[in-house]
């Protein structure tokens, strides 16, 4: 039997230089302008059509002047930190509907697939060399849960890079992502989109804002999406959402916003496809890499493995991912005096996720059937998640602008009380008996021709669970001191006390024989751990302004992540990062940069050199002990541009070069050594570009490109140990997208987006072991009708 291969090999390319990246960006932009000029010239010689004239000065710029948080008291140009703001005008033009898609507009971010046999769900973000999934916020308040966030109710997405403990408390050394929500205002407007596309994509949104009087308004956003996934059989991604905002006392001294958000997500989740056939794929039977452990002469030596069809689905149509998220927020603002505002925000949020997913694992190639790939099989794991997250918080902030002794101060200070909890039930296939540690077996799938008619084992609660909670009390103050027209000093400090408690129930997996009793297999055992501690974070920056529209700055910032800080899960196991006796991980960031607003403040240019370090990570010493002595460090430079380059021509672009290194890693054995290795999932070079041109007729032509350098799936430094991994790295790739929109009437615009114009085949994400991956989206399109009244 011959296996028909429907996918091309994903081939690694040469790395591009900074000159090539710059040339590509400029040539893309010039091509767009040239096309526009040619179209304009041709229009002069042809019969004029009935068109809708657009006031080009009304085009909303991609450039943002300020972040939404009151803790950021200065305009972005005067803020001594790399902060990228992606406005809704940009991601709507790109037809980006999720946070993950929106984050493509900033360099230095990759998406994870999962580890330890589990497949990640939701916004699994890796930024500047560090996991950032636990540092996602909505309107400055942490948003919990491994869910995929839709942008239908988002005004702008803000990406702050580098440790930001002063802003938000505990967090990763990479920084954080904040979604700024839409609020009620006094402008009557109705906007929305109805769209269809590849992968059975169907989506509709509506945004209605109405003034209720001189100082009150209501705003309602609705979402409905039913969609498959381009290039994948069976997989579905469906969303329903409603967001409401009531504004009272608008444009008065006392303003109140009452906001509510309810989201439902459903569908069939994707467990990925095996990496067999990818460049560098290793299996002992193929002997595709030199190895002392697997010497030459394997049963398939010299034979090339074949890619599986990227549409193959190895799960069950009964797999599901059901998410219910609800959030209620009340914010009251009062102007105490000119330049002095007091804000109080209260929020309760609850997110529940119930998921059953089928993952793919090891491939079996029978020795007697080495030349019959139609008989090869792949093991499957039935995975589950049953998790509920809650947050209850009250936060008070005071901003004040004042002078003392001729020196200007912009002060932001406050107090925060936060309660967060996470309840997770352990899910798995049933045990063969109540007193057994062995689960029933999931039948393997045919590697190249999986069947949906196979029997799939149920996924049930095992009896084990983790119930964790953290209560935090925090005080903070940030002050920007303007010494004169050219010099500013920014300083901030945050002190917080937290209490974390975790109650665990585990299932006894093996017979033990203590001095007094034997614990039978299957017995449910309870344990508890708690941690009380204080954290102090600070940051300091100096800004020199050669002119009003530019700045040169230097800054230093810190953050801390205590045990259990990412998942509320403390353990009593020794040599574990979540043991209460372990010191918090400590992140620092040193940055020198410059920011300029040019072309009459319509275009923003930024550049920064940075060094981010995370200390107190767990690492194995030469004597075999494991202690919190590990360290990772990322050095790099990042460039950005956003705004109007010339009349009607908008651009948003970013370029980052990084040198990610594990400066203190595992040293116990050569095979497990990571000391001096590269940080997983951290590309050395990333680039993103989007630009668009608006013609007088209202026609908008846009397009862009993204480049992702190759990323390592392993931090191992031993060549022999690396050679035994399934796939060592994800090859680099380019993706080019394009769009066009045209106003058919004053209120109706038709928009076409084409993704992956060159139909590039690439690996979008890979699991830690390198055995399974998500393929990049193939060439596809969406057609939408936008309306505005």
Render pLDDT for 448-460 as a digit per residue (tens, 0 to 9). 999 988 999 999 9
DSSP at 721: H
Return d(Cα 401, Cα 615) in angstroms, integer.
Answer: 37
User: pLDDT band for position 368 (50/70/90)?
Assistant: confident
User: pLDDT band for position 11 (50/70/90)?
Assistant: very low
Which is more confident, 275 or 707? 707
Q: What angle do CA 231, 767, 470 make, to 5 degrees?
A: 115
Q: What is the pLDDT of residue 489?
A: 98
DSSP at 134: T
User: pLDDT band for position 721 (50/70/90)?
Assistant: low
- 118 CB-side CA count, 13 A: 15
Asked whether residue 41 carries a pLDDT value surpassing 90, the answer given is no
Q: What percent of the chain has pLDDT over 70?
A: 86
Asked whether residue 581 carries a pLDDT value surpassing 70, the answer given is yes
Q: What is the pLDDT of residue 24?
A: 47
Asked whether residue 300 carries a pLDDT value surpassing 50, the answer given is no
Asked whether residue 33 carries a pLDDT value surpassing 50, the answer given is no
Beta-bridge mates of residue 415: 396, 475
User: pLDDT band for position 516 (50/70/90)?
Assistant: low
Q: Is the dihedral of CA 400, 402, 408, 409 positive or negative?
A: negative
Secondary element (H or E) of residue 692: strand 685-694
For the chain, the residue count is: 789
Q: What is the pLDDT of residues 61-104, one digit of tens each?
A: 999 999 999 999 999 999 999 999 999 999 999 999 999 999 99
Q: Which residues are within 8 A (CB) of 646 and not within 5 positions of it... i.e. 6 or more apart?
A: 599
Beta-bridge mates of residue 469: 421, 501
How many CB atoms lie under 10 A from the CB of residue 25? 21
Q: Taking phi first (over 0 means left), then psi (-120 to 50 degrees means alpha), and beta for anything else, what does residue 723 get?
A: alpha
Which is more confident, 9 or 160? 160
Q: Is the pTM of this model over 0.85?
A: yes
Secondary element (H or E) of residue 244: strand 238-248
Show the tokens assigned to 287.
């002997």
CB–CB of 278/307 below 8 Å? Answer: yes
DSSP 3-state of 44: helix
Q: What is the pLDDT of residue 181?
A: 97
Asked whether residue 290 carries a pLDDT value surpassing 80, the answer given is no
User: pLDDT band for position 351 (50/70/90)?
Assistant: very high
Q: What is the pLDDT of residue 120?
A: 55
Q: What is the pLDDT of residue 305?
A: 64
Strands of 67-188 (E only): list them: 83-87, 109-111, 125-127, 130-131, 136-138, 141-142, 154-161, 175-181
For the residues 21-46, what does the mean pLDDT come to? Answer: 42
Q: What is the pLDDT of residue 293?
A: 36
Find, among 352, 498, 300, 482, the residue nearest to 417 by Cα.
498
Secondary element (H or E) of residue 89: helix 88-93
For the residues 603-630, what does the mean pLDDT come to? Answer: 91
Return d(Cα 302, Cα 1) in angstroms, integer.
Answer: 20
DSSP 3-state of 752: strand
Asked whether residue 588 carries a pLDDT value surpassing 80, the answer given is yes
DSSP 3-state of 39: helix
What average pLDDT does the chain have? 87
Q: What percent of the chain has pLDDT over 90?
A: 68
């Amino acid at each position: 039997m011959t296996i028909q291969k429907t996918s091309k090999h994903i081939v690694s390319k040469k790395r591009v230089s900074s000159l090539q990246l710059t040339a590509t960006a400029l040539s893309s932009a010039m091509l767009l302008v040239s096309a526009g000029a040619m179209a304009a010239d041709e229009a002069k010689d042809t019969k004029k059509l009935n068109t809708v004239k657009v006031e080009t000065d009304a085009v909303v710029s991609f450039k943002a002047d300020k972040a939404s948080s009151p803790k950021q008291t200065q305009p972005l140009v005067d803020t001594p930190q790399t902060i990228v703001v992606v406005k809704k005008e940009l991601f709507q033009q790109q037809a980006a509907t999720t946070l993950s898609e929106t984050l493509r507009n900033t360099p230095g971010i990759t998406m994870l697939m999962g580890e330890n046999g589990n497949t990640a769900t939701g916004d699994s973000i890796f930024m500047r060399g560090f996991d950032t999934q636990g540092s996602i916020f909505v309107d400055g308040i942490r948003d919990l849960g491994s869910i995929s966030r839709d942008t239908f109710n988002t005004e702008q997405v803000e990406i702050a890079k580098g440790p930001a403990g002063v802003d938000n408390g505990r967090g990763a050394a990479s920084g954080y992502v904040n979604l700024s929500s839409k609020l009620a205002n006094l402008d009557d407007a109705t906007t929305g989109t109805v769209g269809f596309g590849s992968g059975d994509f169907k989506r509709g949104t509506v945004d209605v804002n109405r003034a209720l009087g001189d100082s009150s308004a209501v705003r309602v956003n609705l979402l409905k999406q039913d969609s498959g996934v381009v290039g994948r059989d069976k997989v579905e991604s469906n969303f329903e959402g409603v967001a409401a905002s009531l504004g009272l006392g608008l444009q008065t001294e006392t303003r109140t916003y009452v906001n509510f958000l309810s989201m439902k997500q459903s569908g069939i989740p994707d467990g990925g496809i095996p990496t067999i056939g990818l460049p560098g794929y290793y299996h002992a039977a193929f002997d595709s890499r030199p190895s002392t452990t697997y010497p030459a002469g394997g049963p398939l030596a010299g034979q090339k493995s074949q890619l599986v069809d990227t549409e193959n689905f190895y799960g069950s149509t009964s797999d599901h991912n059901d998410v219910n998220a609800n959030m209620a927020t009340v914010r009251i603002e009062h102007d105490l005096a000119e330049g002095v505002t007091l804000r109080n925000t209260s929020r309760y949020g609850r997110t529940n996720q119930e998921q059953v997913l089928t993952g793919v694992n090891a491939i079996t190639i029978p020795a007697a059937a080495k030349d019959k790939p139609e008989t090869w099989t792949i093991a499957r794991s039935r995975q589950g998640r049953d998790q509920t997250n809650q947050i209850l918080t009250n936060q008070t902030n005071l901003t004040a602008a004042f002078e003392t002794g001729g020196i200007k101060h912009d002060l932001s200070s406050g107090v925060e009380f936060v309660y967060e909890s996470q309840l997770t039930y352990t899910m798995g296939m049933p045990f063969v008996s109540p007193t057994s540690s062995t689960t029933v077996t999931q039948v393997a799938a045919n590697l190249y021709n999986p069947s949906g008619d196979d029997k799939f084992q149920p996924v049930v609660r095992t009896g084990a669970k983790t119930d964790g909670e953290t209560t935090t009390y925090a005080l903070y103050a940030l002050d920007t001191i303007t010494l004169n027209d050219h010099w500013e000093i920014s300083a901030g400090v945050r002190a917080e006390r937290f209490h974390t408690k975790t109650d665990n129930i585990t299932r006894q997996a093996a017979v033990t024989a203590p001095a007094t009793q034997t614990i039978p297999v299957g017995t449910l055992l309870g344990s508890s751990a708690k941690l009380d501690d204080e954290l102090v974070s600070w940051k300091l920056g100096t800004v020199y302004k050669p002119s009003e529209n530019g700045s040169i700055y230097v800054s230093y910032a810190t953050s801390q992540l205590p045990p259990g800080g990412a998942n509320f899960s403390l353990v009593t196991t020794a040599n574990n990062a979540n043991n209460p006796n372990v010191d918090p991980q400590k992140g620092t960031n040193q940055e020198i940069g410059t920011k300029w607003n040019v072309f009459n403040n319509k275009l923003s240019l930024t550049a920064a050199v940075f060094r981010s370090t995370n200390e107190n990570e767990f690492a194995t010493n030469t004597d075999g002990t494991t202690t919190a002595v590990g360290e990772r460090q990322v050095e790099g430079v990042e460039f950005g541009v956003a705004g109007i380059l010339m009349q009607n021509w908008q651009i948003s672009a970013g370029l980052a070069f990084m040198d990610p290194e594990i400066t203190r890693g595992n040293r116990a054995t050569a095979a497990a050594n990571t000391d001096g290795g590269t940080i997983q999932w951290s590309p050395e070079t990333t680039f993103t570009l989007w630009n668009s041109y608006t013609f007088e007729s209202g026609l908008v032509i846009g397009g862009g490109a993204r480049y992702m350098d190759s990323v390592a799936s392993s931090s191992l430094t031993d060549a022999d140990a690396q050679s035994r991994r399934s796939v060592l790295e994800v090859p680099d790739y380019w993706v080019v997208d394009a769009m066009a929109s045209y106003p058919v009437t004053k209120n109706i615009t038709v928009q076409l987006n084409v993704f992956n114009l060159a139909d590039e085949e690439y690996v979008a994400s890979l699991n830690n072991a390198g055995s399974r991956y998500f393929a990049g989206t193939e060439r596809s399109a969406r057609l939408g009708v936008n309306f505005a009244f």
